[in-house]
Amino acid sequence: MNICVRYFASIKDDMGTGIANIQVDDDITVGNLFEKLTANMSYDGTVLMAVNHVYVDSSYKLRDGDEVAYFPPVTGG
């Protein structure tokens, strides 16, 4: 299935891109996908995850067409 992945702030810098369209296996969780995407870089910071602009936890199962975002804790205000 097709997933749009977005990265922000320091994670965008680490990944070298802000957006990627990828194909993934059915039933993959948002946490598993992040582990796969960062397999070669041992990312150890806190990561927040959102799907279709809503915060989710790492066990959320992705569906075809989802937009998933990975970013560090927010620092606005």
Partner 1 sequence: MKIKILNEKFDPWQEIVEFKRNELQNNPSIGASSVFLGTVRDFNDEEKVESLFLEHYPDMTEKYLSKIVDEAIKKHKIFDGLVIHRVGELKPTDPIVVVATWSEHRESAFDATRDIMESLKSEAPFWKKEGNQKGFRWVQVANEAAVDNAET
Kindly state whether residue 10 participates in binding partner 1, applying the rule CB under 8 A: yes
Q: CB of 17: closest distance to partner 1 in angstroms?
A: 14
Q: Distance between CA 12 and CA 14 in Å, rounded?
A: 5
Kindly state whether residue 72 participates in binding partner 1, applying the rule CB under 8 A: yes
Kindly state whether residue 16 participates in binding partner 1, applying the rule CB under 8 A: no
In the chain, DSSP finds a helix count (H) and a strand count (E) of 2, 5
Q: Distance between CA 35 and CA 29 in Å, rounded?
A: 10
Is beta strand 67-71 parallel, antiparallel or unpaired with respect to 2-7? parallel
Segment 17-36, which members bind partner 1 (CB under 8 A)? Answer: none
Kindly state whether residue 4 participates in binding partner 1, applying the rule CB under 8 A: no
Binding segment (CB under 8 A) for partner 1, from list 24-32, 34-42, 49-57: 49-57
